[in-house]
Structure 1
Amino acid sequence: MLSERYFGGPILTMEPGPRPEGVLVSGGRIVAVGTNEELKALDPKARAVDLAGRTLLPAFLDPHGHLSAVASTISLAQMGTAESFSQIEKALGDFRTERRVPAGEWVVGNGYDHNLLVEGAHPTRQVLDAALPENPCLITHASGHMGVANTEALRRMGITAATPDPAGGKIGREEDGTPNGYLEENAFIRLAAGFVPRPTAEEALDDLRAAQEKYLSQGYVLAQDGMTGKAEYALLAAGARAGLPLDVVGYADLRNAPELAKEPPVGRFSMGGYKIFLDGSPQGWTAWMSRPYEGEADYAGYPAWTDEQVTAFLSLALGEGRQILAHCNGDAAAEQYLRCFAAARQRMGAGDTHRPVMIHAQLVRRDQLERMGRFSMIPSFFAAHIWYWGDTHWKNFGPERASHISPLKWAQELGLPFTMHQDSPVIEPNVLESVWCAVNRVTRKGRKLGCGLAVTAETALKAFTIHAAYQYFMESERGSIAPGKRADFVLLDADPTAVEPMKIRDIQVLETIKDGVSVYRK
């Protein structure tokens, strides 16, 4: 059996104790770690792999993202860099020309952020009409919680002045009640669903392949599909049958497709439990807060569900012994999750073995983190918010609350094995950028945001390795470099724990190794 001995560079095991000089691998498993002499004695014939100064870590595991959505947005009009309405118009017009989209066919865009536009507002149907007068058009906000449709798209969706706002959603309107194109939360997620044409099975599989390659290039060997419906399940299962290399864990849409949680594994694709949304986006003013947004008398966002509904959802998951992930950005949503989880646990007589996860936990309070520990609940932070939307949070919530977003240090002090994520396709699945954000806590405008809540690079890396493995109940198999575990590694061109903190984001992934086999090389 082929064996290899890695040596010659920093080795970050994510295990306690001193760093080893080398790692011995055989048959896709880690055999031993130790000094070079010890490993040579164990297997004199092992192939020597000189790291030549490169840094070896456990490969990364994605604690939360939407792989199927990454795939579905790869072939869309990209507008994440747009800084004005005119640039959105240009991106859409260029896309239609380059793709030769005929009149009457849909044009779909992804990734605009009103917070970054000079107008400081969402575009309207008229803006999209100017770019695409002969095509239905729908564009998605970077958060994924809202979007804008043009006039023809609204017509095809059947959204008119007489259409009521759905529960947990909002239709933007002009003074006379005519929809202005803006669709928020359930108005976007539910009312717009099903109208945009899907790619062919072959095209979708090609997009999924490209999405997986993107994750592998960032050092990930496992990605999450954090809201799996029937269409997403079919695509991911097809990818697994086609032999795509990435391990994928899906979480069934608890409201619309709960039966998927019971599906058996298909190759490298398996179901991990359930997912629900409890509120919206802090940068989109839809996160549910216990105190009003800055400058507002009483508006504090809103919930997606009542307590009775949330308790019923959680009771179902606990009754089946399945893990549940709940999207909570605002502290009121976090409070509802804790309140309803306690009620469901009492109702079902459940213990603390399910490892429930609070996704995003942007504005969670310290007292709430303390209570999460009683339920073995894991906070999974979207720490890159500090850079991408920290200045927006400063404006929306004021200095005190904004400085406490993604409170990683609190979680560490309380002994919570927190994870971090990029919520892709909201942002790129770039681990080193997230580590940089967690260590430096600096915004786009250079504002230091809650420096006392920063953590070290090694602590941040654990959020994507050993702690992520714990979240997935995989800590005996993955997440650290230790004997018996899978030989999943990532090679970096520098040691994140040794470089100047502001340079962490510049570190490059050079190679990704999965089960002892190289699956990506820069």
Structure 2
Amino acid sequence: MNQTVYYNGKIITMNGEQIVEAILVEDGRIREVGSNNEILNRKSPEAEVINLEGKTMLPAFIDPHSHFTSVASMLDKVDLSGCTSMEEIRTRLKEFRKARNLADDAFLVGTGYDHNDLPGYRHPTAADLDDPELPNPIIIAHASGHMGTANTRMLEKLGITKDTPDPEGGVYGRLADGTPNGYMEENAFIHVAVAMPVPTEEEIAVTYAEAQKVYASHGIATVQDGMTSAENAVRLERFGQSEACYLDIVGYADLRTATGAISDDPYTYHGHYRTGGYKLFLDGSPQGRTAWMSEPYLGGEPGYCGYPIYQDDQVCELIRVAISREKQLLTHCNGDAASEQLLRCYTKVKEELGSTAELRPVMVHCQTVRPDQLDRMAPLGMIGSFFVVHTYYWGDVHIRNFGERRGKMISPMRAAIDRGVVYTMHQDTPVVPPDMLLTIWAAVNRISKNGTEMGADQRISVWEALRGVTINAAYQYFEEKEKGSIEPGKRADLVILDRNPLAVPAMELKNIKVLETIKDGRAIYRAE
């Protein structure tokens, strides 16, 4: 028997509004909660006793949607986040090439640029990346992961020419004569990105181990791989059963290409990995102007509304696979037209099949979901997982793209809660870091990077925000009996913070620090 007592703290259990002073952990699970005296008097003589000294403890945060394998794959790529000029992009590529001593034929891959931070809000082109000091084949990915740019040498390597047609659900940028200019969006980019060279299995395992540290440092003990390929499902299964893995990882298989990568019992962990269901994309990125909208974007081509990835008959057929196999489905919907397509098709297929199974489908992102659509989500048992930190990172961009009315209504969490929709909150990492406290701050304050108020009527309370990354997130994973609150019998997945989120001024929430993350009773991260 291995016991640990945590006492003299502010322990927010997320079991109702219960706050206690102390807990007793035994063999990786919570045995008791209560007052200091109650818990200290019930411990064994050999128990480790830890004085929280007034610090705050919560259930460890649960990541409702991100891309674990993508985070791992980006650890050996050029970080272009925050670049404000084409010259800065080239400089970072050159510095990385020099530091890694890359040969001229080695692929050079950058990630995280945002055209909204560049002059004229313009995406880079091949001409911007072509440089005598950068002889490598180069491809760089937008922060959203929905678009990117290749230099001329990479276009040649990929065989993309004037005669290459645009794929369904994707576009190649072109010069006036039809020659590709290097820019690619949606399926045009995604098809290229998945064709990049793959590291060795040993190298991939190392990056998985390193990626865990990123999540654990933000108080997260359960993570998602939100678009798992058949190959990555095998790798995650192997990694999850290795001694190197300490986070719980839940994989959602690509519904188009990896329908067989789902366990017959998706709720059972094999070590620290399990499958959760399927993932489907229906549209693109609102900040990249590829999300599918029912009303046109402002500026640019008149009447342009973005575009869908699939037609209704294709979406219905894919949804039929998930529902007939009684598997949970996570569906990427940024634009309200994509949200409408999901609701329309999911309802149709569910009724056709006469399905009564509790599958807890998830609408992922919900950036521009409308109140009338939220009204239809709750009766379907459909969860809304909100990328609410968009209000901070791209709030001003949304106002520019959609106008004040639609722009300030992004991530309408208050409307969802008032309609009884179960909600969670995510960061879509690696799109943005998995900073749960910044996400909580964003949901509570709704203020953009430039200080613009992003719809005060959609603000939620700190308590509601905490639910979105603890007990509600556990419910989304069908793990509410194991995680998400501090109750006897549940896993000892815990996070210690330097301050109490319920007691600090709302604007201070993002400055709270994660001091320690605990998984199954064992510390997996401690702040230096």
How far apart, in 1, do the equivalents of 2:240 and 2:145 lie? 26
- Which residue does 1:411 correspond to in 2? 416
Deviation at 1:129, TM superposition (A): 0.9
How far apart, in 1, do the equivalents of 2:140 and 2:234 lie? 24
- Which residue does 2:122 correspond to in 1? 121
In the superposition, relative to structure 1, how do residues 192 and 510 fare at CA in structure 2: closer, same or farther (>3 Å)? Answer: closer
After the TM superposition, which of the residue ranges 230-239 and 427-436 deviates more from structure 2?
230-239
How far apart, in 2, do the equivalents of 1:74 and 1:179 lie? 29
Could you state the TM-score of these two structures normalised by the residue count of structure 2? Answer: 0.96
- Which residue does 1:294 correspond to in 2? 298
- Which residue does 2:404 correspond to in 1? 399
Deviation at 1:5, TM superposition (A): 2.2
Q: State whether residues 60 and 221 of structure 1, in contact with CA within 8 Å, keep that contact through their aligned partners in structure 2.
A: yes
SS in 1 for 2:19: coil
- Which residue does 1:278 correspond to in 2? 282
Deviation at 1:132, TM superposition (A): 5.1
Q: State whether residues 249 and 273 of structure 2, in contact with CA within 8 Å, keep that contact through their aligned partners in structure 1.
A: yes
- Which residue does 1:107 correspond to in 2? 108
- Which residue does 1:427 correspond to in 2? 432
How far apart, in 2, do the equivalents of 1:308 and 1:163 lie? 26
CA shift digits 1:381-412 (9 cap, x unpaired): 00110011000000000000011101111111
- Which residue does 2:371 correspond to in 1? 366
- Which residue does 1:172 correspond to in 2? 173
Could you state the TM-score of these two structures normalised by the residue count of structure 1? Answer: 0.98
- Which residue does 1:78 correspond to in 2? 79
After the TM superposition, which of the residue ranges 306-315 and 41-50 deviates more from structure 2?
41-50
Deviation at 1:367, TM superposition (A): 1.1
1:248 maps onto 2:249 in alignment: yes
Q: State whether residues 383 and 422 of structure 2, in contact with CA within 8 Å, keep that contact through their aligned partners in structure 1.
A: yes
SS in 1 for 2:316: helix
1:353 maps onto 2:354 in alignment: no
SS in 2 for 1:367: helix
Q: From 457, 463, 466, give the equivalent of 2:471.
A: 466
Q: State whether residues 383 and 437 of structure 1, in contact with CA within 8 Å, keep that contact through their aligned partners in structure 2.
A: yes
SS in 2 for 1:261: coil
SS in 2 for 1:11: strand
How far apart, in 2, do the equivalents of 1:96 and 1:395 lie? 36
- Which residue does 1:93 correspond to in 2? 94
In the superposition, relative to structure 1, how do residues 20 and 141 fare at CA in structure 2: closer, same or farther (>3 Å)? Answer: same
How far apart, in 1, do the equivalents of 2:264 and 2:250 lie? 12
How far apart, in 2, do the equivalents of 1:280 and 1:419 lie? 20
In structure 1, stretches of 5+ residues that fail to align are none
Alignment of 1:293-372 (within 5 A): 293-295=297-299, 296-351=301-356, 353-372=358-377
Q: State whether residues 253 and 276 of structure 1, in contact with CA within 8 Å, keep that contact through their aligned partners in structure 2.
A: yes
How far apart, in 2, do the equivalents of 1:445 and 1:168 lie? 33
Letter in 2 for 1:130: D
Q: State whether residues 14 and 462 of structure 1, in contact with CA within 8 Å, keep that contact through their aligned partners in structure 2.
A: yes
Q: State whether residues 30 and 487 of structure 1, in contact with CA within 8 Å, keep that contact through their aligned partners in structure 2.
A: yes
Q: State whether residues 93 and 131 of structure 1, in contact with CA within 8 Å, keep that contact through their aligned partners in structure 2.
A: no
How far apart, in 1, do the equivalents of 2:92 and 2:168 lie? 33
1:190 maps onto 2:195 in alignment: no
Q: State whether residues 383 and 434 of structure 1, in contact with CA within 8 Å, keep that contact through their aligned partners in structure 2.
A: yes
Q: State whether residues 94 and 134 of structure 2, in contact with CA within 8 Å, keep that contact through their aligned partners in structure 1.
A: no
In the superposition, relative to structure 1, how do residues 193 and 28 fare at CA in structure 2: closer, same or farther (>3 Å)? Answer: closer
SS in 1 for 2:181: strand
How far apart, in 1, do the equivalents of 2:224 and 2:15 lie? 24
CA shift digits 1:268-319 (9 cap, x unpaired): 1111000000000000010000111113531101111111111111111111
How far apart, in 1, do the equivalents of 2:465 and 2:498 lie? 18
1:130 maps onto 2:131 in alignment: yes
How far apart, in 2, do the equivalents of 1:88 and 1:230 lie? 33
CA shift digits 1:137-186 (9 cap, x unpaired): 00000000000000011111111011111110000001111100000000
How far apart, in 1, do the equivalents of 2:511 and 2:264 lie? 41
Letter in 1 for 2:250: V
Q: State whether residues 157 and 192 of structure 1, in contact with CA within 8 Å, keep that contact through their aligned partners in structure 2.
A: no
Deviation at 1:451, TM superposition (A): 0.8
How far apart, in 1, do the equivalents of 2:501 and 2:365 lie? 24
How far apart, in 1, do the equivalents of 2:489 and 2:108 lie? 50
How far apart, in 1, do the equivalents of 2:348 and 2:404 lie? 34
Deviation at 1:44, TM superposition (A): 5.7
Q: State whether residues 287 and 330 of structure 1, in contact with CA within 8 Å, keep that contact through their aligned partners in structure 2.
A: yes
How far apart, in 2, do the equivalents of 1:333 and 1:381 lie? 15
SS in 1 for 2:428: coil
Deviation at 1:40, TM superposition (A): 3.2
Q: From 436, 442, 450, give the equivalent of 1:445.
A: 450
- Which residue does 1:148 correspond to in 2? 149
- Which residue does 1:499 correspond to in 2? 504
- Which residue does 1:475 correspond to in 2? 480
Q: CA RMSD in A?
A: 1.3
Alignment of 1:162-241 (within 5 A): 162-194=163-195, 196-241=196-241
After the TM superposition, which of the residue ranges 42-51 and 511-520 deviates more from structure 2?
42-51
Deviation at 1:263, TM superposition (A): 6.3
- Which residue does 1:382 correspond to in 2? 387
Letter in 2 for 1:230: A
SS in 2 for 1:111: strand
CA shift digits 1:187-242 (9 cap, x unpaired): 00114431x21222222111111101111111111110000002322332232233
How far apart, in 1, do the equivalents of 2:273 and 2:78 lie? 28
How far apart, in 1, do the equivalents of 2:170 and 2:93 lie? 26
SS in 2 for 1:258: coil
Q: State whether residues 92 and 132 of structure 1, in contact with CA within 8 Å, keep that contact through their aligned partners in structure 2.
A: no
